[in-house]
């Protein structure tokens, strides 16, 4: 090869390399990126896989090295070591994502844990553990990533639960954490509206998830140190069920959370996201949740100086229906 041809070849290589670098940079700038906490299993993993398959870039938060390794094998996914109870790990995740240069369009606060038991028998440490993940976790993550989300005028999605409306025996502190997350979401939405950031809550029912099995493992691990005074029979029955599930290798059961992932995608990317997404696998769970909301409304309205009549309540409901659905009233 003569000198002239060599120079020409070198120039061509440099030009192509520059074009490739530019293309990668362009892709990074145009591909919307989201962070999903608790993405190793269940709803978080399902949503990460779906969004990545749709062409979005997903930063998938996980705690265990094995989960991080598995997540990194998925196209359009970068695993991020992220324990939502550790501000140091959250800060490191912020620095990593900032350094990637994609910006950040959305945060999905999905990481969560479950603790069950009678309220008067549980230890204060149980509440601290649960709220540290389910409430302080979303607070820490949202506060830390807020500057990036505000810059992109993006989205924040909190994964709540039908337990944010329902509550029952044994589920007091879990429901309390999800009720708190509902209030957190409602207030955050009003505040972030001022900054052109949209906030939604997704309230799943009983879908296939590892949260119950993880709870069972903790119950078995702590069984030698736990005794109830008034509800020991309840504890022993629950413990026996957990031991059986773990011994048989039973999966979490229930429908796969595909519809939950669809709701998350809608909340993240639709031009008009909803404030709340009730996503349940059957009619019964929908009825339980909606009926409970009605019960609370009617109880609040009952026997006080400013109670509304049935007709007045229906008129208010019609107004809200028109507002939410975008319909015009007949008078208009």
Instruction: Give the tens place of pLDDT for each residue, 17-76.
Output: 443 333 333 455 589 999 999 999 999 999 999 999 999 999 999 999 999 999 999 999
Q: How far lies 304's CA from each of 69, 256, 301, in Å?
A: 59, 45, 7
Is residue 8 scored above 50 in pLDDT? no
What percent of the chain is modeled with pLDDT above 90?
A: 74
Domain-located, residue 39: yes
Supply the pLDDT for residue 176.
98
Domain-located, residue 202: yes
Is residue 117 scored above 90 in pLDDT? yes
Listed residue (151, 65, 149, 73) closest to 108, CA to CA: 149
Supply the pLDDT for residue 90.
98
Is residue 328 scored above 80 in pLDDT? no
Supply the pLDDT for residue 251.
52
Supply the pLDDT for residue 269.
98
Number of domains in the chain: 1
Q: How many Å apart are CA 141 and CA 90, to the nearest integer?
A: 7
Q: How many Å apart are CA 202 and CA 188, to the nearest integer?
A: 14
Supply the pLDDT for residue 332.
42
Query: What are the structure tokens assigned to 231, written together?
Result: 């509800």
Is residue 246 scored above 80 in pLDDT? no
* Higher pLDDT, residue 24 or 77: 77
In this predicted model, what pLDDT tens digit does every residue of 228-238 receive, in sequence order? Answer: 999 898 888 88
Domain-located, residue 26: no
Cα-trace Rg, the chain:
24
Mean pLDDT of the chain: 88
Kindly indicate the confidence band of residue 253, based on its pLDDT and cuts at 50, 70 and 90. low
Domain, as residue range, for 203: 31-210+252-283
Kindly indicate the confidence band of residue 107, based on its pLDDT and cuts at 50, 70 and 90. very high
Kindly indicate the confidence band of residue 5, based on its pLDDT and cuts at 50, 70 and 90. very low
What percent of the chain is modeled with pLDDT above 70?
A: 86
Q: How many Å apart are CA 82 and CA 64, to the nearest integer?
A: 9
In this predicted model, what pLDDT tens digit does every residue of 161-182 receive, in sequence order? Answer: 999 999 999 999 999 999 999 9
In this predicted model, what pLDDT tens digit does every residue of 297-315 receive, in sequence order? Answer: 999 999 999 999 999 999 9
Span 183-203, average pLDDT: 98
Span 179-201, average pLDDT: 98
Model-level pTM? 0.86
Under a CB-based contact definition with an 8 Å cutoff, are residues 76 and 58 in contact? yes
Domain-located, residue 272: yes
- The sign of the torsion formed by the CA atoms of 173, 42, 184, 162 equals negative
Is residue 88 scored above 60 in pLDDT? yes
Q: How many Å apart are CA 211 and CA 163, to the nearest integer?
A: 14
Supply the pLDDT for residue 239.
83
Q: How far lies 232's CA from each of 111, 223, 236, 237, 239, in Å?
A: 30, 12, 6, 9, 10
Q: What is the CATH number of the domain that holds 270?
A: 3.40.50.720
Catalytic positions, written as ranges: 174
Domain-located, residue 12: no
Instruction: For the sheet with 155-159, list strands across it.
Output: 77-81, 57-62, 33-36, 106-109, 155-159, 198-204, 276-279
Span 130-156, average pLDDT: 98
Supply the pLDDT for residue 210.
67
Q: How many Å apart are CA 43 and CA 38, to the nearest integer?
A: 9
Domain-located, residue 242: no
Domain-located, residue 309: no
**Stated length of the chain:** 332
Supply the pLDDT for residue 220.
83
């Amino acid at each position: 090869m003569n000198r002239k041809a060599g120079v020409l070849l070198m120039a061509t290589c440099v030009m192509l390399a520059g074009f490739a670098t530019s293309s990668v940079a362009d892709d990074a700038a145009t591909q919307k990126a989201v962070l999903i906490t608790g993405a190793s299993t269940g709803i978080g993993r399902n949503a990460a896989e779906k969004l990545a398959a749709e062409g979005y870039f997903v930063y998938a938060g996980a705690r265990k090295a094995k989960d991080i390794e598995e997540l990194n094998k998925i196209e359009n996914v970068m695993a991020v070591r992220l324990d939502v109870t550790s501000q140091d790990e959250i800060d490191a995740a912020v620095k990593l994502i900032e350094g990637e240069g994609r910006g950040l369009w959305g945060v999905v606060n999905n990481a969560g844990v479950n603790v069950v038991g009678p309220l008067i028998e549980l230890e204060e440490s149980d509440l601290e553990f649960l709220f540290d993940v389910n409430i302080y976790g979303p607070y820490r993550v949202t506060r830390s990533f807020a500057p990036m989300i505000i810059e992109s005028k993006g989205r924040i999605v909190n994964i709540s639960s039908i337990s944010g409306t329902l509550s029952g025996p044994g589920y007091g502190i879990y429901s309390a954490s999800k009720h708190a997350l509902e209030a957190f979401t409602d207030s955050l939405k009003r505040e972030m509206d001022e900054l052109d950031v949209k906030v939604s809550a997704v309230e799943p029912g009983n879908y296939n998830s590892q949260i119950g099995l993880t709870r069972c493992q903790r119950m078995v691990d702590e069984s030698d140190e736990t005794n109830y005074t008034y509800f020991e029979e309840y504890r022993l029955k629950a413990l026996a069920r957990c031991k059986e599930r773990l011994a048989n290798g039973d999966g979490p059961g229930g429908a796969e959370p595909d519809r939950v992932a669809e709701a998350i995608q809608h909340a993240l990317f639709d031009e008009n996201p909803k404030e709340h997404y009730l996503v349940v696998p059957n009619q019964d769970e929908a009825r339980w949740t909606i009926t409970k909301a009605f019960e609370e409304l009617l109880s609040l309205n009952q026997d006080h100086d400013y109670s509304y009549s049935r007709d007045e309540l229906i008129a208010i409901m019609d107004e809200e229906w028109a507002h939410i659905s975008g319909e015009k009233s007949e008078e208009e």
